[in-house]
Chain A
């Protein structure tokens, strides 16, 4: 199989299940970190032409915050946790143990980015832990990288990463929602397997 559009419903179900277990684990980890209830949506796994990836997630110029980690040993992929920037700041503030509103903007940004990087790391690490339990693979993560940018620009990179393999992107879209807050905080997990990695995963799961 050298092209992602060859995937069948059977493969999609398997990937969706990975997304399901991964997100469940991520929700539990975030809930433990925040001491709050975290809900998740049923994950959606779909094949989208890479040319439509950006539009798939929302308005291209919406400011978002994205945390990226990679795992590169037995299975190589990139994982992104993406959340609207405004919500990202509220999420970060939940684990910042002091009032930072009096500080200058640059310091606030740094503290929030560091909190988000930790939250993203916990969410994506938990996602990978679930994958590790299913497959038996050891999946260490890299240090997380944080970007604040337009949604379109983040998805532009995501589309290019998929574009190396073919013309479709396998998007596993799952959302986490933090409850008991005035405004609901939701973010999305996106898994981007490196070339060949999705086949390795499907084969490991016994569906290829």
Chain B
């Protein structure tokens, strides 16, 4: 297995085979993987917030769903991925704290991240083939070009393979 590359907050990493991309401890954020099985190219981004429209200065486009998805597609194309072959897998967007009687936008950021990322992928015509999103628990994720599987770990309830 290739030496794993850690994809930190708002990081965007693309790679050719062989590559293993991991993100530890996703909470409200999204770990999004887009890959092309044929050319064995893949990329992962760690999205923090849904929308960049009110933000003037964006040093890391991976931070927002609406800037991260187009950039990830661009980087994959640069690496030789075939657009029509691209598929997406995503995990994250948990809401760890729930407050009775409170529906504060601050805590629903996970849900909004999922919605925004899903919408961006639909707009770009990229099919989501697997996802493990929402809920109240954080996740660690790992994606390897060896298997093209997304391994999702949750504290207390083990590992899923997507």
Task: List residues of A whose CB falls within 8 A of some B CB.
Answer: 3, 50-55, 60-61, 63, 66, 68, 70, 78, 142-143, 145-157, 159-161, 163-164, 167, 194
The smallest C-beta distance from B43 to any residue of chain A, in angstroms, reads 18
Q: Are B155 and A150 in contact (CB under 8 A)?
A: yes
**Across the interface, do B25 and A70 meet the contact criterion of CB distance under 8 Å?**
no
Provide the residues of chain B in CB contact with A150, threshold 8 Å: 24-25, 138, 140, 155
The chain A residue sitting closest to B59, CB to CB, is: A167
Q: Is the CB of A154 within 8 A of B138?
A: yes
Binding site for A on B (CB under 8 A): 8-11, 24-29, 48-49, 57, 59-60, 63, 94, 96-102, 104, 106, 109-110, 136-140, 155-156
Interface centre among B25, B60, B98 (most CB of A within 10 A): B25
Q: Name 16 extra pairs, CB < 8 A, besides A153-B155, A160-B29, A160-B49.
A: A63-B155, A145-B99, A149-B155, A151-B25, A152-B24, A152-B25, A152-B26, A153-B26, A155-B25, A156-B25, A156-B27, A156-B48, A157-B96, A157-B110, A160-B109, A163-B48
> Which A residues are in CB contact (< 8 Å) with B25?
54, 60-61, 150-153, 155-156
Contact of A156 among B100, B136, B138, B156 (CB under 8 A): B138
Known: A153-B94, A156-B26, A160-B28. A50 touches B155 (CB 8 A): no
Q: What is the minimal beta-carbon distance from A5 to any residue of chain B, in angstroms?
A: 10
Complex CA distance for A155 and B156, rounded to whole angstroms = 18
Q: Enumerate chain A residues within 8 angstroms of B136, measured Cβ to Cβ.
A: 147
Report the minimum CB–CB distance from A66 to chain B (whole Å): 8
List chain A residues, Cβ under 8 A from B27: 149, 152-157, 160
A116 to B24, CA, bound (A): 26
**One of A51, A143, A146 near B9 (C-beta < 8 A):** A51
Q: Is the pair B10, A51 in contact by a Cβ cutoff of 8 Å? A: yes
Q: With the chains together, A167 CA to B109 CA distance in Å?
A: 17
* A residues in contact with B155, CB < 8 Å: 61, 63, 148-150, 153
Given A51-B10, A51-B60: A160 and B140 interface contact (C-beta under 8 Å): no
For the complex, give the distance between the alpha carbons of A143 and B102 in Å.
10
Chain B residues in 8 Å Cβ range of A160: 27-29, 48-49, 109
Assess A142 versus B97: contact at CB under 8 Å? Given A61-B140, A156-B27, A160-B48. Answer: no
| Chain B residues near A55 (CB-CB < 8 A) | 8
When the two chains form their complex, are residues A153 and B96 in contact, meaning their CB atoms are under 8 A apart? yes
Neighbouring B residues of A164 by C-beta, 8 Å: 49
Asked if residues A53 and B9 are in contact (CB atoms below 8 Å), the reply is yes
CA distance A187 to B24 in the complex (A): 22
Task: State whether A159 touches B24 (Cβ < 8 A).
Answer: no
Residues of A within 8 A of B98 (CB): 145
